[in-house]
Amino acid sequence: MPIRIVNDNDENNFMGSGQEEVIYEVKKGDTLGKIAAHFYGDAKKYTIIFEANKHLIKNPDLIQIGWKLKIPKI
């Protein structure tokens, strides 16, 4: 499965073509809610990102700059 790494300036957000897996690198000021709003248009969908990254994230309120998070396609 192809992997696409995106950043805040990616205007296509998650609407990439095909079955790409998207990896997002956490930046200063990010929260799971902000990331969910960016990719899904709804901050409340942060739980999808949390569940996909439980191996890394122990507390959804505490994410670290530089973490590379898998953003599931929904």
Q: What is the CATH number of the domain that holds 26?
A: 3.10.350.10
User: How high is the pLDDT of residue 3?
Assistant: 45
Domain with 47, as residue range(s), is 3-71
State pLDDT tens for residues 6-55: 655 554 555 454 556 799 999 999 999 999 999 999 999 999 999 999 99
Provide the whole-model pTM. 0.78
Closest CA to 53 of 43, 38, 74, 67: 67
**Number of compact structural domains in the chain:** 1
User: How high is the pLDDT of residue 19?
Assistant: 53
**69 contacts 58 by C-beta, under 8 angstroms:** no
